[in-house]
Structure 1
Amino acid sequence: MYIATNIPLLDSTLALIQKEQVDLGQIDRDLSWSEASTKADGLLLSAGSELPDMVYEAHGQLAAIGLLNRDERLLDVPRATGAGILVLEPLRGESASQADFILMKILTEARTGKYDPVELAGKRLGILGFGPTGKEVARRAKAFGLQVVLSSEECNRVQADLYEADLLPTIDLLVSVDILVNLQTRAAVGEGRFGKDEIQLLRKEAIFIHLGDPQVLRMNEVVRALDWGYLNRFIIDLPPGYEEIQTVLSRYIGEACTIAAAGNTLEARRSIEREMARDLILALRGQAVESAMNIPRLRLAERRVHAPWLRLATLLGQMLGARLDRPPKQVNLYGGSEAPDLNEEALWAAFLEGLAHGLGEGRINRVSARHWADEAGIDRHWQAASQRPDGLSAAAATIRGSLEVGGSIRHQTIQLTRLDQFRFTAEPTAHLLLVPHANRPGMVGQVGTLLGARQVNIRGMVLGQKEEARDIALMWIMLDKAPNEDLLAEITALNGMIQPEYIFLPNELLTPID
């Protein structure tokens, strides 16, 4: 495994990488960007210049990028997603440092600002964007006697109870707090979410601290509010690259506008580097990590439940894709009574990866699968808790009619249970020969004799029946190797046979479920 970075790493990060027996190279010292994009398995990057196009276009072995800071100008995440590159962002590393910074600013403003000093005990602290940093702020706030208020649009009652917090709609939160900490990101709430209307809801002397994505703010309205005296106690920390905005804001709030000061401690940098290096290595080894930002995130407990069902979804996608000659216009996924409550986005990512591979799109992976489906114009519909007997099934409309595949998880084993209208129970194998035929005596013997004469070994066979009409049956035949086109033509020529189908399933989908 080879990781490239664009900065000199700290000794503690280097020790972790060495312990994991991973090779490391520094860009512009040990290798060029061109070499990094085609030779490295992963990149560990800090904000600087924008990544060159070759990173997205090389289609080499680059599988993942770990970001050491959230600078959206460094990396085009949608473009990386389309290229199938997993992107990791810091979750915990800078949270403690940012929370300390926020509390320091609150204390400073409460005691040494240009307005009368205030006691913090009993004051209401509202937090928007209740991620890792927000939770660290909430923990510290309790030590000063602050009453934490969270937005009911972002949190639930269980989370609020953990921090002894009030839970209010966002508008009610804004009008009632003495201190507002905004940690929202554009990805979570959209661009330009916070502006004049929201600012005017705040109390006249409220302290407003913004550490989230600057593009969450309608910055022209913020400047106008400062100019008109609506924001008397405004504090903002901007990411690198926003120096021009800092110059403008500093005319009104002076040193209350900073650049990259919130997480700028050695401890934060150490923690972020170790977190990203560890997660990048785990991701390159095929393990799920919470810091992945461009695939659906699953908590640890969810991963255990989802793992076999996501494997089944990929397998069904591969089977359905192998039966098609082009991407379908519409695909329906159904969760049956046997299936647990599944994450829809994660399920689609897994299924679409298999569908793309079945159609011969080998470069598509779980990261790029949904982007590929959007580009292909595949309309997708998910129905949970359906009455279908299959644990999970998929259907696609084609000129041949509706093609369906289905399966379930039983005793931690994948079992396939449906092909179109045929019902059966079979384990998947690499080489499958599916032979619909007239349901009458002697049909199985004819196919078995023909395969034996052509030296094709049958590992197993299962017969499928339709639930209602019994005139057509299905031979689900497991072979040792792929049949050639001549053999398929000979089977088709047998009296009573309907067009057979051959499906290949890759071994990585057939390994036992842990």
Structure 2
Amino acid sequence: MPKVLVSDKLSETAVQIFRDRGIEVDFRPELGKDKDKLAEVIGEYDGLAIRSATKVTPTILEAAKNLKVIGRAGIGTDNVDKAAASKKGVIVMNTPFGNMVTTAEHAIAMMFAVARQIPEASASTHAGKWEKSKFMGVELTNKTLGIIGIGNIGGVVADRARGLKMKVIAYDPTLSEEKIAQKGAEKVDLDTLLARSDFITLHTPLIDATRNILSRENLGKTKKGVRIVNCARGGLVDEAALAELLQSGHVAGAALDVFAEEPATENPLFGLPNVVCTPHLGAATSEAQENVALQVAEQMSDYLLTGAVTNALNMPSVTAEEAKVMGPWIKLADHLGNFIGQMTDEPIKAINLLYDGVVSQMNLEALTSASVAGIMKAVNPEVNMVSAPLIAKERGIKISTTKQDKSGAFEGYIKLTVVTAERERSIGGTVFSDGKPRFIQIKGINIDAEIGQHMLYTTNRDEPGIIGALGQTMGGNGVNIANFTLGRSKAGAEAIALLYVDAPVPEDVIAKLHQTGLFQQIRALEFDVG
């Protein structure tokens, strides 16, 4: 039974989802702020469900010997070291849709608040003043709203803004002009957005490309009287520069829900007129809190019980339906990679995958990850589908994929080719109707080999005596052959044999085979067929 730790405050309904799905769960929200105690106990768990209080550092991950998945109830995963998690082979999930509407609504509310100076007007009125002429605002209608990052949340903001009769432009280099148009916005470059916008709202993650995107220089390019809204991430805006431009009158107002340092107890923007500040409330509605908690519990349960991967940040998503269909193909991809990995001693320069027929319509990213993991596991058994692509990238290995319509006798097959400085090595496989993976081609030679835990691979010239030598040597030394597959390129040319045996082939038996002088290559192989 999988075991999950909830180390932050999640709703009891979410905790119950784990229990109802048959997962053992410990609800210990106090651990989120106790990194030492968390490191002490995390090794017991397969899953970790968190919010923002828990910091998943390399130290925590190093102690997490059994951890398979981290689920963040919410969008932001700044509190998780995703690179360290990937190297450890731990999936990191978030819930990008649970608080999408809530965060977008907060951005719209902040836009209204700064346009009409509502917080200051409210404080003045509460103080018994009646300063009607002091709080002259502006309408949103017919104003231009510039959205930096028009993904899920930015798209909802665009929809609401169009309902307010605003003109919407967007800067998002990750989306095409057509995609942005579908969200009701005009695609522009950043300089154009800065120059044209009456309001600018940010809805992008904090990455190297977006850090300080509203820098002093870029803020200086904005239209005089612009109003800035940030409900995305602290660190997107140069807060000191924004404060200066507010004081000079170039920026008419700003509304921020997030700050470079949080909790924000001191900030150059605090105390300035027409600056609205809230304490990271973008997702703080009862509906959103419940939604993201329920989502993360469902996602983690699905992965731990069925292998379905949803909203993962460091692995291709695989639905529960895909997991059922693709399970044997993912196993095949792993076996193909593992065969190549055990056969290859020199550094790998490139990995090429060909997907033919029915398999070409599947989730190729997941299959590719499985193949690469199979290759890497030959050297490091702890590598998995999460960590393998990252390791390959670090080693400078180029990975390419090709897909094609059915081209042969099989409904579908995968061919894996590895390129080194010395040679190319290839293997092909398919999944039969019984759901069992099979090797169907090695080095361009057709075969039909059942895959077993213990195998022996040999190459030789096609000549009499090979079968007898193999059978006699193996049988004479107590090695039982379960399945014996032969193949050759043509009569008298190169031939191969693949034996599925009941136990690992001892080194002395391999030595005796070498002594016959009949074999060019002999390699004992092991596969995880569980």
TM-score (norm 2): 0.81
Q: How does 1:21-420 map to 2 (within 5 A)?
A: 21-27=22-28, 32-48=37-53, 50-51=55-56, 54-69=59-74, 74-112=79-117, 116-151=136-171, 153-187=173-207, 189-238=209-258, 241-244=261-264, 247-253=267-273, 255-297=275-317, 310-324=330-344, 328-335=347-354, 340=360, 346=366, 349-359=369-379, 361-373=380-392, 378-385=395-402, 391-397=414-420, 401-407=423-429, 414-420=437-443
Q: Compared with structure 1, are the counterparts of its residues 232 and 183 closer, same or farther at alpha carbon in structure 2 (3 Å cutoff)? A: same
Partner of 2:529: 507
Deviation of 1:353 after TM superposition, in Å, equals: 1.9
Q: Give the aligned residue type for 2:469.
A: Q
The 1-side partners of 2:332 and 2:185 are apart by: 41
Instruction: Give unpaired runs (5+ residues) of structure 2.
Output: 119-133
2:514 maps to what in 1? 492
- How far apart in 2 are the matches of 1:295 and 1:230? 44
Tell me, yes or no, if structure 1 residue 429 matches structure 2 residue 452.
yes
Offset of residue 506 of structure 1 = 0.8
Deviation at 1:142, TM superposition (A): 3.4
Contact 2:439 2:450 in 1 (8 A): yes
In the alignment, does 2:463 pair up with 1:440?
yes
Structure 2 residue matching 1:247: 3-state secondary structure: coil
Tell me how far apart the structure 1 counterparts of residues 327 and 272 of structure 2 sit (CA, whole Å).
Answer: 53
Aligned residues: 502
CA RMSD of aligned residues (A): 3.6
State the Cα distance separating 1:245 from its structure 2 match: 7.5
Q: In structure 2, what is the Cα distance between the partners aligned to 1:408 and 1:173?
A: 52
**Cα contact 1:63–1:84 (8 A) shared by 2:** yes
Amino acid at match of 1:482: P
> Contact (CA 8 Å) 1:27, 1:36: kept in 2 or not?
no
Q: Deviations over 1:36-65 (max 9, x none)?
A: 311122222233364576522224212222
- Over the matched positions of the two proteins, sequence identity in percent amounts to 20
Task: Give the drift of 1:402.
Answer: 4.2
2:127 paired residue number? none
Partner of 2:130: none
- Which SS does the other structure have where 1:136 is aligned? helix
For residue 371 of structure 2, give the secondary structure of its aligned residue in structure 1: helix
Distance (whole Å) between structure 1 residues aligned to residue 108 and residue 14 of structure 2:
29
Q: What is the SS of the residue equivalent to 1:437?
A: strand
Q: Aligned to 2:508, what secondary structure does the other structure show?
A: helix
- 2:339 is paired with a residue whose SS is helix
> C-alpha distance in 1, partners of 2:471/2:173?
62
CA contact (8 A) 1:153 1:170 kept: no
Q: Secondary structure at the match of 2:257?
A: strand
Specify the code of the residue in structure 1 equivalent to 2:7.
N
Q: 1:398 Cα deviation (Å)?
A: 6.5
Is the Cα contact below 8 Å between 1:175 and 1:203 reproduced in 2? Answer: yes
Q: Which runs of 5+ in 1 are unaligned?
A: 509-514
Q: Distance in 1 between matches of 2:159 and 2:254?
A: 22
| Correspondence for 2:504 among 474, 482, 490 | 482
**Larger deviation, residues 386-395 vs 277-286:** 386-395
**CA shift at 1:91, angstroms?**
0.9
Q: Distance in 1 between matches of 2:390 and 2:174?
A: 26
Q: Which of the residues 473, 494, 506 maps onto 2:495?
A: 473
Q: Are 1:316 and 1:394, in contact at CA under 8 Å, matched by a contact in 2?
A: no
Report how far residue 180 of structure 1 moved: 2.2
Find the counterpart in structure 2 of residue 511 from structure 1: none
**1:470 and 1:252 mapped to 2: Cα distance?**
88
**2:12 paired residue number:** 11
- Whole-angstrom CA distance in 1 between matches of 2:273 and 2:368: 47
Alignment match, 2:129:
none
- CA shift, 1:118, in A, is 3.9
Q: Secondary structure of the equivalent of 1:33? A: helix
CA deviations over 1:478-506 (Å, ceiling 9, x no partner): 33433222222222222422231122211
Q: 1:462 aligned to 465, 485, 489, which one?
A: 485
- For 1:34 and 1:243, the matched residues in 2 are separated by 24
Tell me the CA shift for residue 421 of structure 1: 5.2
Secondary structure, aligned partner of 1:273: helix
The answer (yes or no) to whether the contact 1:199–1:230 under 8 Å persists in 2 is: no
Amino acid at match of 1:6: S
